[in-house]
């Protein structure tokens, strides 16, 4: 997975065969504080939702990470909840790997 580190940068997967699959687009790039992006994996860009991740340094040498994924209402009463539930499953799958990487 590649994040191009700038506003307007792409988020994409590069397969072992070299194919690039678009996942999203960076809308805010403010390291080390925040990143936000449009998320449209497996969907048209017009169906993108919004993700914002905020990193807050705590006084005990740790960092709080807040993730907000919003914009489901733009997808309608049927597609919005279905897509939200599918993405919730995705977050539940990827976040344990993120936590493990941070602890190493």
HEC letters along 40-102: CCCCCHHHCEEEEEEEEECCCCCEEEEEEEECHHHHCCCHHHHHHHHHHHHHHHHHHHHHHHH
Tokens representing residue 79 in the block:
């597609």
Domains and CATH numbers, the chain: 2-103 (3.30.530.20)
The one-digit pLDDT tens for each residue of the chain (104 residues) are 899 999 999 999 999 999 999 999 999 999 999 999 999 987 889 999 999 999 999 988 889 999 999 999 999 999 999 999 988 888 888 889 888 888 87
Among residues 4, 1, 74, the alpha carbon closest in space to that of 35 is found at 4
Please tell me what DSSP assigns to residue 8: T
């Amino acid at each position: 997975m590649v994040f191009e580190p700038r506003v307007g940068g792409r988020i994409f997967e590069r397969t072992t065969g070299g194919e690039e699959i678009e996942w999203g687009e960076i809308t805010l790039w403010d390291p080390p504080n925040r990143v936000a992006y449009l998320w449209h994996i497996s969907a048209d860009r017009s169906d993108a939702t919004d993700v914002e991740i905020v990193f807050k340094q705590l006084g005990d040498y740790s960092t709080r990470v807040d993730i907000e994924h919003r914009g489901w209402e733009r997808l309608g009463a049927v597609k919005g909840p279905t897509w939200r539930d599918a993405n919730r499953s995705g977050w539940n799958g990827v976040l344990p790997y993120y936590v493990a990487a941070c602890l190493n």
